[in-house]
Structure 1
Amino acid sequence: MSRPVSRRASLLMALVTASATPWALAQTSPAATAVPGWPSKPLKIIVGFPAGSSPDLTARAFSEPLAKALGQPVIVENKIGAGGNIGADAVAKARDDHTIGLMINGNMTIAKMINPAVPYDPLKDLAPLSLIGTSPLVLTAPVSQPGVPATADTRAFFVAARNAGDKWSYGTPGVGTVGHIGTELLKARSNINPVHVPYPGYPQVATAMLGGQLQMALLPPALAQAQVRSGKLRALGVTSAGRSPLAPEIPSLAEAGIRGFSLEIWNAFAAPATMPKPIQAKLAAVIGEIARTPEMRTKLFQQGWQVAGTSPEGLANRIKTDTALLGGVIAMRGIKAE
């Protein structure tokens, strides 16, 4: 009969096992497992937005650590247009096994629902690699406008919005963007009816609010906070279920009585669906590990993102959830590309 293992021996065995586990995982993970002959040339990250945009900044933040991990240069290429769909289409059609993309929600979920003419199918032609960062939007409005006292709280603002009906307008970076679909969902949840006015980007939306052309808009936290702190705009609430670490001083819209409303923007890495599975697995593991480092967490937080760094399965689940949510709003509100 074997002798009982002492408590001290049990603890020692547990410590040895715990200390060995990360090493063992590192030796068997896709990030540590070589893919013979790959990469054989520079890796290209396609971004469907201009240099200096939020997706571009995220892609460039990854380029150096990714190059070190892969042993090849990493090039960021901007293919601008159609709300990022031109870049997403270029990724979907890439066949060199050295091209991936940094994309936003819409490119990977409802692009074809909004516009059937979009030449790629996000659910069939793109392979999820890793969800990188998430962020709520901030409902913002001018500091002063007719019908809304300067001291009015968020609930009073919604009362004024209901009374104004379609005499008010809201701005977004374009038809089918999360800002657009999110505001249409907000309209349904809060019984308000401002008219949609599309602009080239969020900065132009903020400028239009400052000029009095718009009465409200959903803006990214970094842009909203800069205007709020300067006293030019007011923050009414964030679109996350609760308060966000990105803007902890701003209450959630749920606190103002808007129930059943939760929305985030996000960015993620994707590959062509035709890329060999071992290469996808290698890239997903390396990208996820880089995203979760303290240095990258800090850098992306400063850019306005709360880091996720998920597995491909985690991103696939998020795509499924958001496609259902945003697709439901598209159908309910009859949203189509113009």
Structure 2
Amino acid sequence: MKSMRRSLLVLALAAATALPLVASAQSASWPTKPIRLIVGFPGGSTPDIAARTIAEPLSRALGQPVVVDNKPGASGNIAADQVAKATDDHTIGIVINGNLTSSKMLYPKLPYDPGKDFTYLSLIATAPLVVVAPNGLPSGAAFFEAARKAGDSWNYGSVGTGSVAHLGMELLKSRVPGFNPVHVPYQGNPQVVTAMLGGQVQLALIPPGVAMPQIRAGKLQAIGITSGRSTLVPELAPLADAGVKDFSLEVWTALLGPANLSKTAQDRISKELAVIMKSPEVRQRLFDQGWQAVGTSPEGMRVRVDEEAKIMSRIIQTRGIKLQ
């Protein structure tokens, strides 16, 4: 009996000793196949550029290909839903503001829950929006005074109902008493710029990458940017300088996975991404496209999303914004 007890004790100790080794082996084994990086927008779009900018260095770091898979449609919500429903531990995705901060309010039948169905990993890149107007209109504080006098005879363009440019302008209207331009949605920013050059709209919120070539060419003028001073556009003043208080808004892209993404995968991606987002090559590539590389902790991303979702929900409710 004593001999048997000793044998059982030895086996138990061996098993206990082996547990950390098993866990270590499992940790080292991820990823075991190529990683699918879903993007809900077409090639050449901002989310696609962000995805391809991090895909190559992430692939090198993880030792497996990171394959960008474009699944455009429904403002990125179709792709976001595919990420939410993934079960293979090798699917992640790039999303934009709206997929996490406003879609739930705008789409009553949204097939995923932004707060519950994802593992947040990191913000990738941010940029302020530029308030752009045709030449010949006043600038700075005088612009908003002219806009107040114009009432609803002025129009503003956006890339569609529910977009950050649309909700951002409605937020701006709530911050500037008497400011009430009428929303005119377009298919994309090039169409917004064309409409502005043609005199159909008097202002718009446009990303720096689209706005600055027109501004630097002298075709349009900048009224201000929707953040503090930015290294992306150091020559442009914040809207606060034009008298607009308590207003801040940026567009961004972020990386996430499904809620069931393993802790091993989460930790490995977060670790490698923290290094990648500090890479001069990655930062410069994003900067050249009009974006500031950021990189955040998962907790930092969630705080940003939660705060912005509250603001957007309030605007959607108070302004009665609905998708047709």
What TM-score results when the alignment is normalised by the length of structure 2? Answer: 0.89
Change (3 A) 1:179 1:248: same
The number of residues matched between the two structures is: 300
Task: Indicate conservation of the 8 Å contact 2:134/2:203, yes or no.
Answer: yes
Q: Tell me by how many angstroms 1:209 deviates.
A: 1.1
Q: Tell me by how many angstroms 1:33 deviates.
A: 9.7
Q: Tell me by how many angstroms 1:72 deviates.
A: 0.9
The whole-number CA distance in structure 2 between the counterparts of 1:204 and 1:87 is 25
1:214 aligned residue (191, 201, 205): 201
Please report the RMSD computed on the Cα atoms of aligned residues, expressed in angstroms. 1.5
2:260 aligned residue (274, 283, 294): 274
Is 1:165 the counterpart of 2:155? The answer is no
Deviates further, 327-336 or 33-42: 33-42
Q: Tell me by how many angstroms 1:168 deviates.
A: 1.2
Q: How does 1:297-308 map to 2 (within 5 A)?
A: 297-308=283-294
The whole-number CA distance in structure 2 between the counterparts of 1:337 and 1:277 is 37
1:233 aligned residue (210, 220, 230): 220
Q: For residue 130 of structure 1, what is the amino acid of its counterpart?
A: S
Task: Give the aligned partner of residue 238 of structure 2.
Answer: 252
Q: How does 1:191-206 map to 2 (within 5 A)?
A: 191=177, 192-206=179-193
The whole-number CA distance in structure 2 between the counterparts of 1:284 and 1:176 is 30
Deviations 1:117-152 (A, max 9, x none): 1111111111110111111100001113xxx3xxx2
Is 1:100 the counterpart of 2:86? The answer is no
Change (3 A) 1:34 1:220: farther
Q: For residue 65 of structure 2, what is the amino acid of its counterpart?
A: P
Q: How does 1:287-298 map to 2 (within 5 A)?
A: 287-298=273-284
Task: Give the aligned partner of residue 59 of structure 1.
Answer: 51
Name which one, 1 or 2, has greater alpha-carbon Rg. Answer: 2
The whole-number CA distance in structure 1 between the counterparts of 2:187 and 2:88 is 32
The whole-number CA distance in structure 2 between the counterparts of 1:278 and 1:246 is 35
Task: Indicate conservation of the 8 Å contact 2:30/2:264, yes or no.
Answer: no
Change (3 A) 1:96 1:190: same
Task: Give the aligned partner of residue 119 of structure 2.
Answer: 127
Change (3 A) 1:35 1:207: farther
SS of aligned partner of 1:203? helix
Q: Tell me by how many angstroms 1:36 deviates.
A: 3.9
2:163 aligned residue (177, 188, 200): 177
SS of aligned partner of 2:115? helix
Deviations 1:48-104 (A, max 9, x none): 111000110110111111111111111111111111111111111111111111111
Q: For residue 69 of structure 1, what is the amino acid of its counterpart?
A: A
Percent identity for Structure 1 against Structure 2: 55
Is 1:113 the counterpart of 2:99? The answer is no
SS of aligned partner of 1:123? coil
The whole-number CA distance in structure 2 between the counterparts of 1:332 and 1:141 is 26
1:82 aligned residue (74, 77, 92): 74
Q: Tell me by how many angstroms 1:218 deviates.
A: 0.3
Task: Indicate conservation of the 8 Å contact 2:122/2:255, yes or no.
Answer: yes
List alignment gaps of at least 5 residues for structure 1: 1-31
Task: Indicate conservation of the 8 Å contact 1:137/1:264, yes or no.
Answer: yes
Q: Tell me by how many angstroms 1:116 deviates.
A: 1.3
List alignment gaps of at least 5 residues for structure 2: 1-23
Deviations 1:284-331 (A, max 9, x none): 221222112122111111121112111111111111111112222112
Task: Give the aligned partner of residue 313 of structure 1.
Answer: 299
SS of aligned partner of 1:35? helix
Q: Tell me by how many angstroms 1:203 deviates.
A: 2.0
Q: Tell me by how many angstroms 1:35 deviates.
A: 2.0
SS of aligned partner of 1:243? coil
Task: Give the aligned partner of residue 7 of structure 1.
Answer: none
The whole-number CA distance in structure 1 between the counterparts of 2:50 and 2:305 is 19
Q: Tell me by how many angstroms 1:236 deviates.
A: 0.5
Task: Indicate conservation of the 8 Å contact 1:228/1:235, yes or no.
Answer: yes
What TM-score results when the alignment is normalised by the length of structure 1? Answer: 0.86
